[in-house]
Amino acid sequence: MTRAHTRGRRLAAAAVTIVLAATGGTLTTLPAMAAVPGAVQEDQQATTVPFPRNADVVGAGPSGFLSKTRGTTPEFRWTWYADGSSVVLPGASAAAGGSDLVVTGDRSSLPDSRVLKLRDMSTPASAAADAVVVNLDELGTGYSLAGVFGSTLAVLVQTGEDTYQTRLFAFQDGKLTERPITGLPEDCLPSFEGGYTAGAVVFDCWERAGRPWTKVVVDLTTATAVFSQALDAGHEPQWQNAISDTYAVWRERDTTTEWFGVHRRGTSERKLIKASGDSYDPLHLVGGWIVQGQRVHIDGSFNPNGGSGLQARPLTAESVETGEKIQLLTAHSSAVAGPGGSLLVRGGTPEQGEGLYRISPRADGDRPDVELVASTGQSTVVTLTGSTTPTTLTGDQVARGVDFGWDLSRADSRVWLTLTHVRSGKTVYAGWQVPYGVTAGTPRHFAWHWDGKDPENADWGSPARSGEYEWKLTARPDDGIGPELVTTGRFTVTRPAAPHDFDDDGTADLLVRDTGGVLWRFGTRPTAPGGSLTDTGASRVGSGWGAYDRLETVGNIAGTTAPDAVARDKDGVLWLYQGTGDRAKPLAARTRIGAGWQTYDQLAGGSDLTGDGRADLVATDKAGDLYLYKGTGSATAPFAARRKIGHGWGIYNQLTATGDLAGGPAGDLLARDKAGVLWLYLGKGDGTFAARTKVGAGWGAFTGLTAVGDADGDGRADLIASNGDETFYAGTGDWAAPFKRGVSVSLTQDTSYNTAF
């Protein structure tokens, strides 16, 4: 039952749901005054009993329940439990209170209605019969119905300017018969929400001169006030009351604490226990269990807790005797007293979804039973019902973009997505709001296309790095019903190791030492497959690199998948910097290879010259002899003992190991003479080279030639020439003309540097 306001000053704060007239306080019988056509029964449904969506329960009896849709022009529908058939009741307002008696009114609220119609909804036949019509204007003024309790109507009768008296009227066989209440003073109003059953009601008697605010229990069977309790001095009254066959409970508070006043029916006992829950939540009793929770409707479009996004308080039960607390429903929007001490609640659970639940007391006083009696077909909590996500992706698949999909049980959820590269912790974000007009509690598919760009460097167009990724999908119902859904998954991006890829994104990097001795990594990517290069940003590797007079990338010589670098200090000691594949720290701490390397004036590494799958190193001494240092794959001893493979190499001032430049059986070597002519030595695979072939003249303008592997994505090894600026030479795969015409590119962001490698 909901309750209407009265016209008195003190009654203005209480709402009342039913208004009915009685005559002057005398024993009165009201026959059916005018016949109206019975409601037309709709088609019966043989499936699960339905509960209308976007509706609340406003009454329930042994045979069925009364629902009211939300909105400015509500529909009132009675549904029978037996077969799910239902009928729409004509009228602008309606209510019922624990029995099959339904009252409808001619205005949008029953308190304002002047013509009421009373129907017995126990069977379709009784519902189709003519209703009892009560015209309040013909009965006089000053009467307001304060409640419907089973088949008993409580009527407020104005007895003075600001005083009222409550009287009871029993409705039987189409007639109303007055039953005066013994022992109830004036100015007492029966409870709304949970403060009534078909057999008893809690009344609030307002403070008057010489009388404190008092709670009174009225037994409807005898029409007698059987218990009264004045609030303690200093206690503030609260409107929330609840009653069952065994207990009555209400809220009251002192200056610091809110309490439950607990009365065991049939005794004069009243005790105070510290109240739980929120004072704004209505109270109900099911046997010896206090039932309460925040009201929120799944078809609402806002969280009652506002922007905090907190979950709505669930419907809970707390034992009066033991203090045990349990959750009954994830959330609820309305509740009414039902027959047998039960409570009919519009709400939901994760297991059975949204609908009407019957919460019933148990004879042994144990936890109440919860049973779904009618369903809306909506999901209560948001769950993941399906997904389309990868487990492994190649670099080529990532480059084309990847589609993800998730199916959620509730479309009315705000959704956030993060995709994180696990090693770096870098993340990209996506999100979806609730679309306008979506049906709450129904499924929705969420699709997301990942462009395959790196989470950290997406603005630069850098490809996603290799390794493990984790996606995390968070869905929060917009009405606050139920917890957030958080679901995660992982996939791995794999690609072959690239000879000059220091950050594991599949593209070539250029290492540059600036004039202050700081080493930088500059990323690159092709503008198109087989096209030119552009940079993808820089990361600082570290300082102190001015201590070295020779720097060289040598491919993977230490047994990992990442390329390594060697550095010779000014004392001739050669150091290994093992690659990590981590953009934040692409080179590990140095380890010593050995001393005596000052004898060489040229070093070149990165080509597999011996055909064993490992990168090797060549060096020319000051006498012009060429030596091979075969790679071992060991970080502690990366090279085998040297072997002389040539002489007369003193004519060259630049050696560059290019890998397989011209489609031969092994890695190749570029050599630039002092006249600036560039020569190609094709590797034979046994650590030696074929006779040189001329690439071209004019290469003396460059201070460095860096073989970067396949930088433009066409499958052929390429070259970057540097002299403070950069020129990109795309490989052709043809030994006779191994490079296309050079293209000026800006890869180092105008950094002043003295070495690029």
- Confidence at 43, pLDDT banded by 50, 70, 90: very low
Count of residues in the chain:
757
Asked whether the whole model's pTM tops 0.95, one would answer: no
Residues 501-524, mean pLDDT to the nearest whole number: 96
- Confidence at 10, pLDDT banded by 50, 70, 90: very low
Looking at domain 509-756, its CATH class is: mainly beta
pLDDT recorded at residue 135: 77
Residue 176 reports pLDDT greater than 80:
no
% of the chain beyond a pLDDT of 70: 93
pLDDT recorded at residue 307: 62
- Confidence at 108, pLDDT banded by 50, 70, 90: confident
- Confidence at 22, pLDDT banded by 50, 70, 90: very low
Residues 284-288, mean pLDDT to the nearest whole number: 96
Q: Which string of DSSP letters, residue by residue, matches 563-607?
A: -EEEEEETTS-EEEE-B---TTS-BPPPEEEES-GGGEEEEEEEE
pLDDT recorded at residue 4: 32
Residue 140 reports pLDDT greater than 70:
no
Kindly report, residue by residue over 655-689, the tens digit of the pLDDT: 999 999 887 778 999 999 999 999 999 999 999 99
Residues 84-107, mean pLDDT to the nearest whole number: 90
Among the listed ranges 158-172, 324-338, 546-560, which one has the minimum average pLDDT value?
158-172
What's the N-to-C CA distance of the chain in angstroms? 83
Inter-residue long-range contacts of 215-222, CB under 8 Å, 24+ positions, other chains counted:
215/241, 215/248, 215/250, 215/261, 215/263, 216/184, 216/188, 217/243, 217/248, 217/263, 217/265, 218/181, 218/184, 218/190, 220/149, 220/150, 220/152, 220/168, 222/182
pLDDT recorded at residue 327: 97
- Confidence at 37, pLDDT banded by 50, 70, 90: very low
pLDDT recorded at residue 8: 28
Residue 46 reports pLDDT greater than 60:
no
Residue 267 reports pLDDT greater than 50:
yes
- Confidence at 30, pLDDT banded by 50, 70, 90: very low
Are the CB atoms for 565 and 542 separated by under 8 Å?
no
pLDDT recorded at residue 445: 96
Q: Is there a shared CATH topology between the 384-494 domain and the 509-756 domain?
A: no
pLDDT recorded at residue 723: 94
Q: Which string of DSSP letters, residue by residue, matches 525-550?
A: EESSTTS-EEEEEEEEEES-GGGEEE
Are the CB atoms for 373 and 358 separated by under 8 Å?
yes
The CA radius of gyration of the chain, in Å to the nearest whole number, is 43
294 phi/psi in degrees, rounded to 5 = -75, 135
Kindly report, residue by residue over 427-457, the tens digit of the pLDDT: 999 999 998 888 899 999 999 999 999 999 8
Residues 548-563, mean pLDDT to the nearest whole number: 93
Residue 326 reports pLDDT greater than 60:
yes
307 phi/psi in degrees, rounded to 5 = -70, -10
Residue 603 reports pLDDT greater than 80:
yes
pLDDT recorded at residue 143: 80
Token pair in block for residue 610: 């011996």
The dotted CATH code for 55-296 is: 2.130.10.120
Among the listed ranges 148-152, 320-324, 444-448, 742-746, which one has the minimum average pLDDT value?
148-152
Residue 716 reports pLDDT greater than 90:
yes
> What's the chain's average pLDDT?
89
Which one has a higher pLDDT value, 630 or 157?
A: 630
- Confidence at 422, pLDDT banded by 50, 70, 90: very high
- Confidence at 204, pLDDT banded by 50, 70, 90: very high
pLDDT recorded at residue 260: 94
Taking residue 72's Cβ as centre, other Cβ atoms within 10 Å add up to 5
pLDDT recorded at residue 309: 64
Residue 364 reports pLDDT greater than 90:
yes
Sequence ranges of the domains in the chain: 55-296, 384-494, 509-756
Residues 483-487, mean pLDDT to the nearest whole number: 94
Looking at domain 384-494, its CATH class is: mainly beta
% of the chain beyond a pLDDT of 90: 73
Token pair in block for residue 214: 């008092």
Residue 207 reports pLDDT greater than 60:
yes
Which one has a higher pLDDT value, 648 or 141?
A: 648
pLDDT recorded at residue 457: 86
Residue 3 reports pLDDT greater than 60:
no
Half-sphere exposure of 270 (CA within 13 A, CB side): 19
Token pair in block for residue 541: 């590797």
pLDDT recorded at residue 273: 93
- In the numeric block, the tokens 């720290």 are attached to 585
Residues 82-96, mean pLDDT to the nearest whole number: 92
- Confidence at 103, pLDDT banded by 50, 70, 90: confident
pLDDT recorded at residue 358: 98
DSSP single-letter state for residue 368 = P
